[in-house]
Chain A
Amino acid sequence: MIKITIVDRNGKRANLEIPTDINLSLMEILKAAEYDILATCGGIALCATCLVQVLKGTENLPQPGGQELDMLDTLPNADLNSRLSCQLRINKEMDGMIFQIAAEH
């Protein structure tokens, strides 16, 4: 199991345990866990409503691709730890990471 911690918009923390063989993005996991996250475009890095802030473990994630960078660039308050959760595939390297759901922008 891959264990990650999610901090919601109110600061509430919860641990999620995700099976290693699940082929989903972090956005899909967050939606399944009923977090208040929009994902307007359905997960193709075109709306940035699935934005998360990586609080721990940024170094474990692959660099954002071109499309994700395009979107992150347009956000006024994004920084190096901001990522689009629809572009983050769940994998073993995420174990122990902490993600915060970004404030609605």
Chain B
Amino acid sequence: MTDAAADLTDDALLRVEGLEVHLADRDGLRVVRAVNGVDFTLARGETVGIVGESGCGKSMTAMSLMRLLPASARIVDGAVSFAGEDLLAKSEAEMRRLRGQQIAMILQDPMVSLDPLYRIGDQMAEPLRIHKSMSGTALRSKLEALLRAVGISSPERRLRQYPHQMSGGMLQRIVGATAMSCDPLLLIADEPTTALDPTVQAQFLDLLDELKQRTGLSLLIITHDFGVAARLCDRVLVMYAGRIVEQAPVREIFDNPRHPYTQALLSTVPGRQHASGRRLRTIEGQPPDLADLPPGCSFAARCPKAQQRCHAEAPPELRLGDRHTVRCWYAMS
């Protein structure tokens, strides 16, 4: 854990309050509550992980911060402030100047993150040309330096190559270097290692860690993998059905998970609790229909500890110590 994480309340780079995102489903008749009242902060230099199953709203939350939601989605409520500015009040032109410059992002699959028709150099240069008006030899040497910084040798040659001539691991480094090119304050990484081979995954996580240490940027990691969170994060937010159901420092989450969903997720991590050779555990049941959420706790239907109250009333956020919160009626006991 870094020192910056300790004073998150004073020095929040990003503050999200009551964020709600609605999606119109195919027939446009039902409202899908993809993100359903999300609050969190991210301090300067802090690394936070949003963990949850697919469809829980973690990527929607991330894309809301970029204001790059799909056409069917809309932010209907909430506030997002970044470096003291209201992101939801900004015009599209202002947002565009922010993207790639102050808030950068890397996507899940590096093999398809780059335009197959342009050279690596052209694509890496775009943010620097657009945001920093760089060109000529200054641009060229900056690009070479960026590639060297992510451990890619003979950058002159690599810059002239096309995406299809490179491996997934190398492309992810290039995507990372592109994202870092304008020295952003915040880097959002959406499942940054899911599409990579296990050995390459570890290397890329090391690289992210190193970038973080060197530049002091804040990192928001979207993942379904507690292993990734454990490796990089200071704090973890566990999301379920569009809500944050538990948040705590990473050690606390592993040592003292209070929400039954967090406990269930942790028990599915291979190599934890279970002897090798046993089958991976999965969580019974399906997440609720986001267009038809139950009145009570949205995890109640799958929860082994659910009582009558859980099905009837949504639990409030309980504070368990100054940096650990949980939404569960029975987390106290």
The answer to whether A and B belong to the same complex is no
Q: Which residues of A contact B (CB under 8 A)?
A: none
Q: Which residues of B contact A (CB under 8 A)?
A: none
